[in-house]
Amino acid sequence: MSEDKIWPGAEVHKRAKAIHAEGKTIVFTNGCFDILHAGHIAYLQEAARLADVLIVGLNTDSSVKRLEKSPARPLQTEYSRARVMAALQCVGAVVLFDEDTPAELIEQIAPDVLVKGADYKPENIAGADFVLAHGGKVQTIAFLPGFSTTSIEKKILEAHKNGH
């Protein structure tokens, strides 16, 4: 069941350690994933190919609000976003985090590969120093052009404003 893939914060270190003990590798990425779209799916599938298990750090509702993406965000609750993310076949686990960056979560997981979108420079990725210092890799993945949650939100708001 996909809900089993949503890990409680207190169990993250133990579960990640168990994956490593099985000789499997972990790739980690994070984000809000508010309105899941084709760009997200392509990104997550590409990330999942880089290791045996993809763990996704998902911003809590309060941390999304602190990112100041838009006053309406998040559009879906953290519970809803976590359920949708956990239902994806390419995702091995989902962990909610409330901090401004996932650096602390990354230290608990100790991923073999840390991934972010190509809009980030590797040296600006939270947790990159830790992953590199522990023999891991940091990689960026190009986004699928033409897809963004912000553009979808704008389209919905425009349609609403125009009475559609």
pLDDT, tens digit (0-9, with 9 covering 90-100), for 23-74: 999 999 999 998 888 889 999 999 999 999 999 999 999 998 888 667 777 8
Buried b (16+ CB within 10 A) or exposed e, 50-74: bbebbbbbbbbbebbeeeebbeebb
∠ at Cα 24 (21, 25), nearest 5°?
115
pTM: 0.89
Q: Which of 81-85, 107-111, 129-133, 158-162 has the lowest mean pLDDT?
A: 158-162
Residue range 74-78: average pLDDT? 89
Cis peptide bond upstream of 102, omega within 30: no
Residues 6 or more apart whose CB falls under 8 angstroms from that of 151 comprise: none
The count of C-alpha atoms lying within 13 angstroms of the C-alpha of 28, restricted to the half-sphere facing its C-beta, is: 28
| Residue 162: both structure tokens together | 């125009």
pLDDT at 150: 60
Enumerate helices (H) and strands (E) in the chain, giving the number of each.
Answer: 7, 5
Q: Per-residue pLDDT for 164 more than 90?
A: no
Instruction: Print the domain residue range for 136.
Output: 2-161
Q: What is the CATH number of the domain that holds 142?
A: 3.40.50.620
Q: How many domains does the chain have?
A: 1
Grouping H, G, I as helix, E, B as strand and the rest as coil, residue 115 is strand
Give me Rg for the CA atoms of the chain: 16
pLDDT tens digits along 111-145:
999 999 888 888 899 999 999 999 999 999 987 66
